[in-house]
């Protein structure tokens, strides 16, 4: 699988397909695997839906700007809010990266990643948070989480943030199609990420740019690998 620098960093949509009703975008291979998995999940009483699929660079920049400005909440590993005003620039960067990727380094740029919810489990008007309590045993998506753990691998997916490795917080809702994401991760180098971030003029850049190698090791390549067959 070949990715260009533009597709790796979310600056091109040439590798994805847009779907409507509900609206989401994925790489064609990820979409095919998702629809097959969705069909089987229905037999378990689950209506799989993509809460988030492909996310481009500009969207990731917008998320970063809002969190860096304190206009979106920051959370600890347990999903509890962190006081924005108490954080130094370096601590703020780490707080953002526990739950949101660097622009240019989001796995969602590749079209291989899906954040999943169960529409059938949601009461009318329910607002999805994508926080751990929703996917815990007894949570609104607890049944979905169990089903994912037991079945996602049969469709080529794995959970890159299944466990806390000290980087990104555990995200049981996040699935990755290994056929696409493994080569993409190998192709995304610290040098490409540095070059991309230098052009973006992000908030916190003065602190962020000297930390790229550290952040790459801690938050980009530090994942739970797919289980071996």
State which residues form the domain around 72.
5-220
Return the pLDDT at 79. 86
Domain annotation covers residue 32: yes
Residue 226 lies inside a defined structural domain of this protein: no
C-alpha distances in Å from residue 173, one per residue of 28, 145, 176: 20, 7, 10
In a domain, 225, yes or no: no
Contact 188, 4 (CB under 8 A): no
Whether 60 is in a domain gets the answer yes
pLDDT of residue 46: 98
In a domain, 95, yes or no: yes
Number of domains in the chain: 1
Would 228 be classed as within a structural domain? Answer: no
Measure the CA–CA gap between 174 and 200, rounded to whole angstroms. Answer: 26
Distance in angstroms (rounded) separating the CA atoms of residues 33 and 26: 10
Specify if 227 maps to a domain: no
Note the pLDDT of residue 229.
66
CATH of residue 118's domain is 3.30.1380.10
Q: In this predicted structure, what is the pLDDT of residue 78?
A: 85
How does strand 17-19 pair with strand 48-52?
unpaired
pLDDT at 130 over 70: yes
Using the structure block, give the residue that is written with the tokens 């980009």.
Answer: 220
Q: What is the pLDDT at residue 192? A: 98
Q: Is the pLDDT of residue 53 over 70?
A: yes
Residue 104 lies in a domain: yes
The answer to whether residue 104 scores a pLDDT higher than 70 is yes
What residues contact residue 39 under an 8 Å CB cut-off, 6+ apart?
none
pLDDT digits (tens, 9 = 90+) for 1-24: 789 999 999 999 999 999 998 899
């Amino acid at each position: 699988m070949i990715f260009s620098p533009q597709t790796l960093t979310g600056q091109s949509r040439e590798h994805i397909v847009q779907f409507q009703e509900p609206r989401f975008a994925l790489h064609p291979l990820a979409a095919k695997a998702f629809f097959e998995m969705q069909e089987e999940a229905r037999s378990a009483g689950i209506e799989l839906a993509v809460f988030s699929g492909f996310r481009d660079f500009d969207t990731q920049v917008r998320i970063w700007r809002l969190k860096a400005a304190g206009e979106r909440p920051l959370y600890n590993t347990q999903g509890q809010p962190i006081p924005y005003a108490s954080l130094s620039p370096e601590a703020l960067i780490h707080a953002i990266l526990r739950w949101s990727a660097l622009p240019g380094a989001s796995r969602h740029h590749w079209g291989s990643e899906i954040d999943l919810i169960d529409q059938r489990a949601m009461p009318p008007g329910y607002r999805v948070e994508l926080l751990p309590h929703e996917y815990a045993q007894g949570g609104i998506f607890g049944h979905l989480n169990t089903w994912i753990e037991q079945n996602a691998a049969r469709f080529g997916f794995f959970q890159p943030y299944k466990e806390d490795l000290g980087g990104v917080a555990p995200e049981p809702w996040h699935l990755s199609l290994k056929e696409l994401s493994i080569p993409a991760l190998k192709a995304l180098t610290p040098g490409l990420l540095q070059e991309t971030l230098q052009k973006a003029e992000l908030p916190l850049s003065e602190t962020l740019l000297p930390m790229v190698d550290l952040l790459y090791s801690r938050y980009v390549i530090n994942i739970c690998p797919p289980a071996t067959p």
